[in-house]
Amino acid sequence: MIDQDGDRREFFRTTLGRVARELAERAERRVVVERFFRPPGAQDEVTFLSLCTRCDICAEVCPPQAIMKAPPSAGLAAATPMIEPSRQPCTVCPDMPCAAACPTGALLVPERKWEGYRLGVLTLLPERCIAFHGVECGVCVRACPVGERAMVLDGGGRPVIRAEGCVGCGVCVRACVTTPSSLTLRLEES
């Protein structure tokens, strides 16, 4: 005799489990559909979104006024603090006032501050850079708020990124004289 109740239970368990997993995956995709450059000290995205109250205190204390609100189209991340480096990059304040001012823990000052901390990943595109085509420049190196720990000129006057010291703030990207910029900034893969 076939155990119809057991088959029915197994069917519902399997189906409901699959539906629950799919709903959880969809919810996670909605939370992290678009990733943003976050202010220094931001927790991982899901934790950040759960702790951020959108109080704007971090933006109010940001010296270069680099912190702005995520657009309404950002879904669950709407109105959360973000940085748009092409508009106004983070200038690497030594004491991270934005993180220090956060009342909820969505932003935390890292124990070693900027040492080893990254906002993004910088890439140099030599084919765009005028220094690789015989023109003296060095604007990006002079603009870098981190200095020689992050970027230097080689013996030929061409910029060299020192990944171990670069915090990925975007100041050099914005300062670059080429259009489009010879430097690109992207978020680290999570």
CATH number of 140's domain: 3.30.70.20
Instruction: Mark whether 106 and 40 lie in a shared domain.
Output: yes
Among residues 58, 88, 117, the one where a domain terminates is 117
C-alpha to C-alpha distance for 139 and 62, rounded to whole angstroms: 24
Instruction: Mark whether 51 and 111 lie in a shared domain.
Output: yes
The residues, ordered by sequence, that sit 6+ positions from 181 with a Cβ below 8 Å of its Cβ are: 128, 173, 174
Decide if 99 contacts 41 (C-beta within 8 A).
Answer: yes
Instruction: Mark whether 58 and 113 lie in a shared domain.
Output: yes
The chain-wide mean pLDDT, for the chain, equals: 90
pLDDT at 17 over 80: no
Instruction: Mark whether 45 and 113 lie in a shared domain.
Output: yes
Bridge partner list, 184 = 123
Collapsed DSSP state (helix, strand, coil) of residue 7: helix
pLDDT at 29 over 90: no
Q: With left for phi above 0 and alpha for psi between -120 and 50, is residue 41 left, alpha or beta?
A: left
Domain span including residue 172: 121-186
Instruction: Mark whether 133 and 109 lie in a shared domain.
Output: no
22 vs 68, higher pLDDT? 68
Residue bearing tokens 């950002």: 74
Q: Are strands 67-69 and 183-186 parallel, antiparallel or unpaired?
A: unpaired
Among residues 86, 102, 117, the one where a domain terminates is 117
Bridge partner list, 68 = 82
Domain count for the chain, please give it: 2
CA angle 23-69-146, nearest 5°? 110
Confidence of residue 126 (pLDDT cuts 50, 70, 90): very high
Sequence-ordered alpha helix ranges (H) in 70-189 = 97-101, 139-143, 171-175
Let me know if residue 79 belongs to a domain. Answer: yes
The tens digit of pLDDT for each residue in 59-118 reads 999 999 999 999 999 988 999 999 999 899 999 999 999 999 999 999 999 999 999 899
| pLDDT for res 25 | 62
Decide if 96 contacts 109 (C-beta within 8 A).
Answer: yes
82 CB neighbour count, 10 Å cutoff: 21
Among residues 91, 117, 143, the one where a domain terminates is 117
The pTM of the full predicted model, rounded to 2 decimals, is 0.77
The tens digit of pLDDT for each residue in 30-61 reads 555 578 999 999 999 989 999 999 999 999 99
Instruction: Mark whether 108 and 49 lie in a shared domain.
Output: yes
Let me know if residue 129 belongs to a domain. Answer: yes
Let me know if residue 7 belongs to a domain. Answer: no
Instruction: Mark whether 161 and 175 lie in a shared domain.
Output: yes
